[in-house]
Structure 1
Amino acid sequence: MSKVWIKDIAFYVPERKVTNDEIIEAHSLKMKAAWIEKRIGITHRRWASEDQAASDLAVEAAKKLNLKSFKGSIWVSTISQDYYTPSTASIVKAKLGLTDDLPAMDVNNACAGQIFALDCAVSRLKTNDENEALVFATEVRSRFLNMKDRRTVFLFGDGAVVFHLEKSDDAPGEVEWCICKTIPSHDLEILVPDGGSQNPYKEEAEKFHPYIKMQDGEKIFQATTESLLDIIDEALSKNNLTVDDYDYYVFHQGNGAIISKVCDKLGIPSEKTWVNFGTYGNTSSASMGIALAEAHKLGKIKKGNRVLVMAMGAGFHIGMASIKWGI
């Protein structure tokens, strides 16, 4: 039976590095950069230039792949879409110069979006005669920040990542399985309150809030940690696996403290996971993939390794995938 594997992977982050001091000074915030680094675990993040949209970051990542003969579906995970419509996926496809009529689709599941998109892409490949697909995650979260909100302005960065999937009978790797869940009890803990049909545009600027908002940071921390531990336990038990059966773990880079707590609870040593939140920030749905791509680039993940990737995001969505690394 044919297997679907990650044939190649690439990521892109904008050139501009934004330090904690730069944000503090630009917006007259009464905070210290050292406190932010100690408390949040971040020194800087990358923010896109004014002429870069989410589709542009995705295309920059794709340029690092060999796509000369590519023909397949395109999936783009983003909550930083270029426009409300058309889909960012259709724009990415056009910018890549692809002329076939195979579908291009957006997935809007916040920080867990790329795993949801990966699950959809793998399922499609297994049920039709297509042989490849591109799964992107691309975010420009810097455009959706209230620069006076100290709870969010330091957390987020911009970036993009792409998986090139291939279906093959003799693939050296495999996306073994995905688990995707939505837990409705935390659906509005993280949200952008205004700009949709629930709260449309208001001319009174002070009443319009098209920025990301976190309702209760401590509640989000606890819910995320508990949900991650639960889904890992469920997945390992269901597949008769243990923590030691995996060579490497890659988490959504939303908060370094959450990653540390989960690893401590499960007994995962630091050398078996990669954390780049401190230099890229939370790039939302792109963060897990960027961490995976960077760990591969640095030789942390090797051909034949078994890797478990996880992400969770507003909604409350949580996703996990087991990957036999074939690159």
Structure 2
Amino acid sequence: MQNLGIAITGSGSAVPKTSLHNQELTQLVETSDEWISTRTGIRQRRLAQPTESLTELAAAASRGAISAAGISATDIDLILLATSTPDDLFGTACKVQAAIEATQAVAFDLTAACSGFVFGLVTAAQYIKTGVYQNVLLIGGDILSRWVDWQDRRTCVLFGDGAGAVVLQANESDRLLGFALKSDGTQNHHLNLTYQGNSQEIIPNVNVAQGTYQPITMNGKEVYRFAAQKVPEIIDKALFQAQITVDQIDWLILHQANQRIIDAVAERLNIPDHKVISNLANYGNTSAASIPIALDEAVRQGKIKPNDIIATSGFGAGLSWGAAIFQWGK
């Protein structure tokens, strides 16, 4: 009989070496370390140099996860890369597959912005639970510095670059205890990285649009209001599906967008501070990478131990949000 449960058996992460501290941002825009840190909790972020690529970061994170899971790259059946900033608009997962020599794996990108890792986790689990694949590599990675307007002080202080990865494997018991996913396209306008093209007549009466994507725009107040309300609700739904109570959670790992959001969600759920994992002070908002980077750090620091119950939630552009409850390890 096939194992139709899943276990998350290894994690890895990678960030660029270059740091940009809040104090250095004062050279770009009118702001201060105190203003940024008190409103967001962010003190510095990592930025990819022009010579660095998402492929390199994702591959490094993947190697860490594969090694931690105790398997080889050739054991991987499927690679899912959750990203909004591919190196190639046709997709970057296949480049990662080549970089790590996962010769047996099919690979594709998945785009759900800051919810990407949670959406990817649920997607990966379905391939395993239906018996299609045994070993799935899930990567969350973004280089948002490519798409930030460095003169817009509302957004340039928030974002950083990085990648995190986990390995999911078929398992006798199902360690993904519950999940819930939601989308609301009527609020799409609150957070965008939109294409803008100029009309070009290629032959008489035939016009096409030629252009590029515009920098990130965000209505911070509305995104905060949305997250503070919707994230506790979606975690409650996932807990209900998992048939466990909030006090059974060992760790809360939210998308690392803003410390105020993390604090508000934890407070609403009555989760004490010592159970909340936060590292956005060092990395800023790394979009789809933020949850797996925080997870990997906590695992490698010895905080998260086998069988610990983790509640996680991603939220952001779309607008989209989701939650997953899982037990760490086999």
Q: What's the counterpart of residue 49 of structure 1?
A: 49
After TM superposition, give the deviation of residue 103 of structure 1 in Å.
2.2
Q: Is the 8 A contact 2:252 2:310 kept in 1?
A: yes
Q: What's the counterpart of residue 311 of structure 2?
A: 308
The whole-number CA distance in structure 1 between the counterparts of 2:209 and 2:148 is 18
The whole-number CA distance in structure 2 between the counterparts of 1:262 and 1:299 is 24
- The reply on whether 1:95 has 2:96 as its aligned counterpart is no
Q: Which amino acid aligns with 1:18?
A: L
Q: More displaced, 184-193 or 280-289?
A: 184-193
Q: Which runs of 5+ in 2 are unaligned?
A: 200-207
Q: TM-score w.r.t. structure 1 length? A: 0.90
Q: 1:196 to 1:323 in 2, by over 3 A?
A: farther
Q: Which amino acid aligns with 2:93?
A: A
Deviations 1:230-276 (A, max 9, x none): 21223333444321021111100011100101111221111001111
Deviations 1:72-105 (A, max 9, x none): 11100000111111x11111111112323x4211
- The reply on whether 1:212 has 2:213 as its aligned counterpart is no
Q: What's the counterpart of residue 107 of structure 2?
A: 104
The whole-number CA distance in structure 2 between the counterparts of 1:325 and 1:200 is 48
Decide which structure has greater strand share.
Answer: 2
Q: What's the counterpart of residue 20 of structure 1?
A: 22
Q: Which amino acid aligns with 1:81?
A: P
After TM superposition, give the deviation of residue 63 of structure 1 in Å.
2.4
Q: What's the counterpart of residue 191 of structure 1?
A: 192
The whole-number CA distance in structure 2 between the counterparts of 1:175 and 1:230 is 19
Q: 1:273 to 1:190 in 2, by over 3 A?
A: same
Q: 1:236 to 1:196 in 2, by over 3 A?
A: farther
Q: 1:192 to 1:241 in 2, by over 3 A?
A: same
Q: Is the 8 A contact 2:44 2:283 kept in 1?
A: yes
Q: Which one of the candidate residues 230, 234, 239 is aligned to 1:231? A: 234
The whole-number CA distance in structure 1 between the counterparts of 2:276 and 2:130 is 33
Q: Secondary structure at the match of 2:61?
A: helix
Q: Is the 8 A contact 1:225 1:262 kept in 2?
A: yes
The whole-number CA distance in structure 2 between the counterparts of 1:55 and 1:105 is 13
Q: What's the counterpart of residue 7 of structure 1?
A: 9
- The reply on whether 1:277 has 2:280 as its aligned counterpart is yes
The whole-number CA distance in structure 2 between the counterparts of 1:147 and 1:15 is 19
- The reply on whether 1:81 has 2:86 as its aligned counterpart is yes
Q: What's the counterpart of residue 205 of structure 1?
A: none
The whole-number CA distance in structure 2 between the counterparts of 1:209 and 1:146 is 12
The whole-number CA distance in structure 1 between the counterparts of 2:20 and 2:251 is 30
Alignment coverage as a number of residue pairs: 315
Q: 1:68 to 1:88 in 2, by over 3 A?
A: closer
Q: Is the 8 A contact 1:187 1:316 kept in 2?
A: yes
The whole-number CA distance in structure 2 between the counterparts of 1:196 and 1:223 is 30
The whole-number CA distance in structure 1 between the counterparts of 2:24 and 2:114 is 26
Q: Which amino acid aligns with 1:5?
A: A
Q: More displaced, 7-16 or 193-202?
A: 193-202
Q: What's the counterpart of residue 158 of structure 1?
A: 161
The whole-number CA distance in structure 1 between the counterparts of 2:75 and 2:185 is 38
Q: Is the 8 A contact 1:194 1:201 kept in 2?
A: no
Q: 1:197 to 1:309 in 2, by over 3 A?
A: farther
Q: Is the 8 A contact 1:194 1:200 kept in 2?
A: no
Q: More displaced, 119-128 or 176-185?
A: 176-185
Q: Which one of the candidate residues 114, 119, 144 is aligned to 2:147? A: 144
Q: TM-score w.r.t. structure 2 length? A: 0.90
The whole-number CA distance in structure 1 between the counterparts of 2:226 and 2:138 is 28
Correspondence list, 1:121-132, <5 A: 121-132=124-135
What RMSD in Å do the two structures reach over aligned CA positions? 2.1
The whole-number CA distance in structure 1 between the counterparts of 2:305 and 2:245 is 20
Q: What's the counterpart of residue 60 of structure 2?
A: 60
After TM superposition, give the deviation of residue 185 of structure 1 in Å.
2.6
The whole-number CA distance in structure 2 between the counterparts of 1:209 and 1:129 is 36
Q: What's the counterpart of residue 115 of structure 1?
A: 118
Q: Which runs of 5+ in 1 are unaligned?
A: 203-207
Q: 1:57 to 1:31 in 2, by over 3 A?
A: same
After TM superposition, give the deviation of residue 2 of structure 1 in Å.
3.3
- The reply on whether 1:177 has 2:173 as its aligned counterpart is no
Q: 1:48 to 1:4 in 2, by over 3 A?
A: same
